[in-house]
Amino acid sequence: MPSLKEIKTRIASVNSTRKITSAMKMVASSKLHHAQVMIENMLPYETMLEHILKTFLASEADASNVFTIERPVKRVATVAYSSNSSLCGGFNANIIKLMQTVAAEYEALGKENIVIYPVGRKVAEKAAKLGYPLGGDFTELADKADVKQCIDLARELGTKFVDGEIDKVELVYHHFKSAGSQILTRKTFLPIDLKSELTKDHYRDLKSTVATKESQEYLRKRDAEQHASSPRMLDGKPLNDNFIVEPDMNTILKALLPKYAHLLLYTALLDSIASEHAARMVAMQTATDNADELLRGLNLQYNKSRQQAITNELLDIVGGSVNN
């Protein structure tokens, strides 16, 4: 049985760890709120752009563009979003696992034809260790969402796709639904399938910051029920016959699709950053709860040991008095 001093030292150590995890949880909560605000500010632009594209699709079903044409895949690129730091539960491990799954599907092409564009240090280190060629260094994006860098990356990928250097681009990231629910997502970035993209569920809860295990489970069940009862529909309506598009619809689509591609990359980045902070908040909350439970057990053990020591001392004194 450990001595009183050993138990007291352990209590002090756990207390120190609890203070750290509690502070990290509050920092993650603050950063999560900031990320939620950034997503909220982006939503009007996303909503309007989607509405315009839906209207065009409803007006002209065969609307196509160089970015929507599928071709045999000989070289593929994967943009994987992770974090630069740890202590965020299974956030990075899940992304790395999905990235490896995607790469395994194209294994027949050879590693030299599977290019990884890592957003975040964790996925960059893993991809380099596995021997996949990297498309660049984007670790700064994982800490600070930069629209210009996202646009530059989207343009680079778009240019390589048009030139035939890359035949397909996939995104691997966490879609942020709420503080307690982040969905691991795999999405085809190029070629763009507008009909499938515009009918996907983009719902996000940008107000809640609840992060307990119970709330996570409740939110997952609620979201599944809502999705089953009211699936997202294509709400675009055909343009009026008297409405003139200049110079023509395909030219307008050619101008809008790159903007939509920029939006896809930037939205995935914001979702990933918000998901990282939410995952870290949940992990630190769990660690704090575990520390509280451990402290309760240690305090109980300390009090029992202390009481036992006092009882033994009294028995020694009483026994000595009787013998005398």
* Residue 207 domain flag: yes
Q: Residue 77: what are its φ and ψ, rounded to 5°?
A: -125, 145
* Residue 2 domain flag: no
Tell me, what's the pLDDT at 43?
85
Tell me, what's the pLDDT at 65?
72
Q: Write down the catalytic residue from 7, 39, 88, 211.
A: 88
**Residues 172, 102 contacting (CB under 8 angstroms):** yes
Task: Give the number of other Cβ atoms within 10 Å of residue 138's Cβ.
Answer: 24
d(Cα 53, Cα 252) in Å, to the nearest integer?
A: 10
- pLDDT tens for the chain, 324 residues: list them: 678 888 899 999 999 999 999 999 999 999 999 999 999 898 888 888 877 777 776 666 556 678 888 889 999 999 999 999 988 989 999 999 999 999 999 999 999 999 999 999 999 999 999 999 999 989 888 888 889 999 999 999 999 999 999 999 999 999 998 887 888 999 899 888 766 655 665 566 666 555 555 555 665 666 666 655 554 444 555 555 445 677 777 788 788 888 888 998 999 999 999 999 999 999 999 999 999 999 999 999 999 988 888 888 888 888 765 555
- The residue type at 173: Y
* Residue 15 domain flag: no
**Residues 63, 249 contacting (CB under 8 angstroms):** yes
Q: Residue 175: what are its φ and ψ, rounded to 5°?
A: -85, 125
144-158 per-position pLDDT tens digit: 888 999 999 999 999
Tell me, what's the pLDDT at 231?
46
d(Cα 76, Cα 165) in Å, to the nearest integer?
A: 9
CATH number of the structural domain spanning residue 216: 3.40.1380.10
If one counts the domains in the chain, the total is 1
* Residue 209 domain flag: yes
Q: Residue 290: what are its φ and ψ, rounded to 5°?
A: -65, -40
Tell me, what's the pLDDT at 253?
79
d(Cα 49, Cα 257) in Å, to the nearest integer?
A: 10
* Residue 252 domain flag: yes
- The boundaries of the domain holding residue 255 are 21-285
Active site residue 88: yes
* Residue 183 domain flag: yes
Tell me, what's the pLDDT at 305?
87
* Residue 93 domain flag: yes
The pTM assigned to this predicted structure is: 0.81
* Residue 47 domain flag: yes
